[in-house]
Structure 1
Amino acid sequence: MISKISKNFLNYKKHFQKKYNTLINQQFYFSTSNLNFDIQGCIPLKQPIQDTYQIKVKSCTFYLEPEQTIQELIEQTQNKEYTITKIFRFDSEKLAEFQENTKIQDILKQDFIVQVNGNDNYQVLKTLDDCLGLEASHQNQEIGLESYKLEELGEQLNFTHQKNKILGQYASKYIQEITQVPQNTISKGYLNILNEKILMEISLSSKSKLDYINRLEKILEKQQTQLQSDQDQIKNILENKSNSRLRAILLFYMSQIAFTQYGTYFLFSWDIMEPITCMLGVLDLIIAYTYWLSYNTDFSFKQVATDYVGKRLPKKLKQENLHIDELQEIQKMLEYLNYQKLQHAFELGQVIKSLKESQE
């Protein structure tokens, strides 16, 4: 099966040879330093309109223009509640600070870290595949897997989307390697060596990407747990206040019942207690109707507790700089990372084995 695929690839060698004579490597300028720091969390990079990007740190939104420099961005944020002080590029061994004259468009090509207020570090994630290094390269995009009918082949073999994607990566790398050979003929031995090389590269790349995804998941889960814990703590405080309020309301109504009974049979006559009882009944109606106008819900002890917490929780969270939409963003990113892990659920060897079995 491998030899048949290789033969088809060779037929396209001259056609694609001219397209990939040159590669454009983007250079990033930064100074390196060994610093110990913690990442407080991850935030997504968004592009609400063309040529404008935004990142949101708690309640503060920063807008990034590709043509501006880091220094201009820092000056732009100085009057805000949260101020960007530095921007870093981070890997497992070192922290690399971008120079102030570096343009934002160079930073946006990769994940980066913004330091806010001089001590809080947030990793900014691009929400597309290339934030994890999973998007096809420039060469692979130009080739187009439709030319080789790989998708149709996958449909015939009942391949899943993940298997089709892995096969596509293999085919693209194979083409890229073949088009770089100056000779018009390639020996079978070279093809076998090339096949082993590509299998090894994809295997190592897949493992590296999975390790990176797992690292991001740990950061996001830690951030999610902390935010959820803070919100639960505030919610518990409000629920305790709500329970105290319910006890006060219950005491008020029980006092009415006790007063009307004791006043009627022991202190006063019914002639005196009748207007008092009527006034208390009107007061109860006013309280219930006022509550209904305020919340447009039934007046019950359970509903009073629910409405009390629901109305005050968003305000209290805002006062503590905790936002519900942060948890929603984190959950979306976690779901996205889980989806990316599924893309690597099958090894390339398993896909090739399926192809061989289908041909036998």
Structure 2
Amino acid sequence: MLSTAAPQACPVAPAAPSAQPTPTPSPVPIQLIQRSGLINLILPLPNAEKCSFTLYPNKTVKDLITDIREEERPNSLVLLTDKNGNRISHETPISQLLNQPFNLVIDEELFSVEPFKIVQTTDNVLGNPDLLEIASHGYHEKIKAMLLKEATKRPFMNYSEYERWCEQFGMSKEKTHQLSKAFHKIGLVLHFHENSALKDIIFLKPSIVVDAIAANLNIKFQTREAPLLRSELHKLLPLYLPLNNVKQDLDVRAEKKAKRWMAGALAYLTVQFGLLARMVWIDFNWDIMEPITYFVGVFTMMGGYLFFVLYNEDYTYKALENRQRMLALKKLYISEEFNWQKWNALHQKVLTYTKLLNVDLEEEVKGLQSATIPKTLQ
């Protein structure tokens, strides 16, 4: 639930008249327009154009100021004050800011913002009367469920098939079209109704289309917090890369030890086979050796069952090798005093940052002189 408390205000110390002129109220009004459930602030730019800033409830005043400065105002003085002239804190949530009127000061201009005078747009497809009627009957939820279920089977479908679904609920072609536009707008599906080549196709998995376009155009998507995330990543790399190099070296040594153990097991089985063969054909005979070989086989089967009981996985050669590798790695961690928990915490953070930034780790470590580039990122 959004708080209804007044925004946090910080008293502004009176400045000397020569240090900062008193802001002049701007003759250009600021509009607040609501689109798709979100409030947009329409602000004039220095080039006489207007720019729309979306006021996300979970953002803060600091985010809004940063967005304003990025639009042709990089060196501007931007701050928000209440009607009494007290500066509003940067940490104030947008949801709390919109509870009462406030002033937006940009350099020497003062813009008055009235949150209670929000203009409701009528061009929003989600507010179409036909869709309101569909929603009142719950048809959209049923068709949405059908589309989601169909998306698990195939990536796209014909628009004519979608029309037949809607006809089952007695929907007209116009209502069917408006509903597809609404589903397209919220990102449930992709339907390019204005494109003659694609209007007969509904893409049930929008992510596939977006990924395909991005791959063909060599586009890498990044979040708006990319500079901050990259800065945090660069702070972690000098701590992470040396530990990762040590871990890779220990992994290689543990792998070699596991291979040697498996080779030793093969040598043991070879010697066992030779001894049993000699005892069958030279020292004794099959009548004497048959129960001995039976017990050797049962003992081996019991060993496999014990492996399953201890480690909760099937007894296979690969599982046995992995188990030996893990045991060797554990001993190496102890003998080399390797802090695996610290490495794992840093590793998870690095993976998160590289995924959000959509970058390769080796590209990020270029230019960092305090660490070496790892061969692989496990």
TM over 0.5: no
Larger radius of gyration: 2
- Between 1 and 2, higher relative CO (CA 8 Å, sep ≥ 6) is seen in 1
